[in-house]
Amino acid sequence: MSVACLSALLLSVALALPWTSVQAAAGDEYNGKVLYRYTDNHGIQVLDDLVPPRYVAKGYEVLTPSGRVLKVVPPQLSGKELAELQRREAQREADLQLLKRYNSVADIESARARKLAIVEQDMAIMRSNISSLGRQIEQEEAVAARTQRNGREVAPELLQRIADLREEVSVLRERLGRREAEAVSINSEFDQAAARYAEIAAK
């Protein structure tokens, strides 16, 4: 193998390794000698055999004596910049998932309708059961009231049955409330998905 080929191979391997390995691999070609290029506080690029600690956070490049760039160390991000980068990355991933899931805004609306139909059917059943239980409670209470008007004591079993029916209604109403909140959440979710899809498609 020629010297040029060997040098190219060593460099390609070095760039794929951690920096400690880059130094070891580059040492064979450059006798371990590297230079650092950074920008000082006056905006001037400086080439030196080290990077002063105060400039490390601004980023720098590692070069061979001949000027070939071995590694680029990017500037460190501030907390705000890092948060913005993470937000953009999260949005990019969400957009990819949105485009994989739907082919058009019409697809999104169809999915909304299917999901809401299940929730609305469940709510209709609960409302019907609440109504039915309400009628049962009225009937049992009417029996209890009639018994009291006749001067007799209402049977404990009847009072317990009324209490059980009321408890069942309370549980159903709580479940219905959760389902109604779920329907609102579904609409909000699909509103956002449709708006974002239209925004992406318009680009």
The pLDDT tens digits along the chain (203 residues) read 443 343 444 344 333 434 444 444 444 455 678 999 999 988 999 999 999 998 888 899 999 998 899 999 998 888 888 888 889 999 999 999 999 999 999 999 999 999 999 999 999 999 999 999 999 999 999 999 999 999 999 999 999 999 999 999 999 999 999 999 999 999 999 999 999 999 999 88
Whole-number Å distance between alpha carbons of 179 and 125: 12
Give the model's pLDDT for residue 32.
72
pTM of the model: 0.58
Q: What is the pLDDT of residue 126?
A: 97
pLDDT of residue 30: 58
- The residue among 177, 176, 187 whose CA lies nearest residue 115 is 187
Question: What pLDDT, on a 0 to 100 scale, did the predictor assign at position 102?
Answer: 95
